[in-house]
Amino acid sequence: MTWFGFLNCNKPSGMTSRDVVNLVQRRLRKVKVGHAGTLDPLANGVLVLGLGPAAKLVTHVQASPKRYIGEFRLGEHSPSEDIETESTRPEGLPIPDRRSLDEATRSMIGRIRQTPSAYSAIHVDGRRAYDRARKGEQFEMPSREVQVDEIVVRHYSHPNLTLEITCGSGTYIRSVGADLAKKVGTFAVMTALKRTAIGPFKEEDAIDTATLKDGNLIEHLLPPRLAIQHLPQVVLSAGEIQKAYFGQSVDCEWNHEHPAITCTKSTRLVENQVSSTPSVLAPELAAMTEAGELAALLRLKNDRWHPHRVFPPAKKIAEEMTQING
């Protein structure tokens, strides 16, 4: 029996992302389980788990826009930019007004450069930065570009500030708060963080850890196609799907009369369509069955679409779950 899909989980504060994976892994034993986007132990909220072959799709989930609610305390500074490390309160700092904060948020939208704290999970010279920082090592953190789509001040009563942030993968929310504070002449530490959405996976639909431990996981298993909504999709015939399963290339053409892509003998129109789509970083298609199930991911190579990942039809899993519970 094959598990193939996603669980939208609500990770509580105090647990690591790996702890949540382990809850499911212990129940499903040999089923591969992976998560999309690590949440620090301090943080809570949406953590998406990929089960079985869907573990290969977590990078697509990670690439989806994310939404967070971050709480900060102005006028304080800590090496980790949050309350993990001891903070200090420098004297003489200004108390920014709401208008200054709103103006500063507008200057931080788009592709921006960000230098995360040394207590982040980024690899520096082959080692996790936080491991080196906790050992007292001195090193320089690299800056990088990240995408910030929106920053909204949801609440402000000095020193407490609440921000709602929509951003791309790899953005450190505590660094967003620290950088915003710098723009208004002060410091900030993050005191709480909640991830409320990753793409189509929303907080209001997430299941708690009690359900992960003892609930019926089948009822909460979400379809793999949720991970590839950002990709152009091609509906293939049964014969073309079999070709993809055997590693053979597939010919496709964009159908201007229909929002899908249909199988033909030409690739040129599809290549043009994909290359002109800003959301697609590399020419890639999601190959779907006529029933709307994900069958494969196709990549363009030498003017032909080749299977990059294949997902043979998932069998029913009710019997497997019965065996696990029994």
Domains for the chain: give ranges and CATH numbers: 5-64+200-223 (3.30.2350.10), 66-198 (3.30.2350.10), 231-310 (2.30.130.10)
Q: Amino acid letter at 10?
A: N
Prediction pTM value? 0.84
Average pLDDT over residues 107-124: 89
- Counting residues of the chain whose pLDDT is more than 90, the rounded percentage is 61
Please say if the pLDDT value at position 91 is more than 70. yes
Beta bridge partners of 83: none
Quote the pLDDT of residue 148: 97
Q: Amino acid letter at 148?
A: V
Contact 204, 97 (CB under 8 A): no
Which range among 140-154, 214-228, 231-245, 272-286 shows the weakest confidence by mean pLDDT? 272-286
User: For residue 316, what is the DSSP state?
Assistant: P
User: Among residues 101, 104, 5, which one has the least CA distance to residue 50?
Assistant: 5
User: Among residues 291, 307, 312, which one has the least CA distance to residue 244?
Assistant: 307
Quote the pLDDT of residue 124: 86
Is 40 labeled as catalytic in the residue annotation? Answer: yes
The three-state secondary structure class of 111 is: strand
Please say if the pLDDT value at position 197 is more than 60. yes
Read off the pLDDT of residues 251-289 as tens digits, 9 standing for 90 and up: 765 444 444 444 444 333 333 333 333 333 347 889 988
Q: Which of these is catalytic: 40, 82, 131, 251?
A: 40
Edge-first strand order for the sheet with 284-288 is 252-254, 261-263, 233-235, 284-288, 294-301, 304-310
Average pLDDT over residues 296-318: 78
Contact 214, 221 (CB under 8 A): no
Please say if the pLDDT value at position 201 is more than 50. yes
- Counting residues of the chain whose pLDDT is more than 70, the rounded percentage is 86
Indicate the pairing of strand 123-124 with strand 188-198.
unpaired
User: Among residues 245, 246, 280, which one has the least CA distance to residue 261?
Assistant: 280
Beta bridge partners of 137: none
When pLDDT is cut at 50, 70 and 90, the band that residue 315 belongs to is: low
Helices within the chain (DSSP H only): 17-28, 58-62, 98-106, 129-134, 173-183, 209-214, 238-245, 268-275, 318-325
Please say if the pLDDT value at position 316 is more than 50. no
Read off the pLDDT of residues 15-29 as tens digits, 9 standing for 90 and up: 999 999 999 999 998
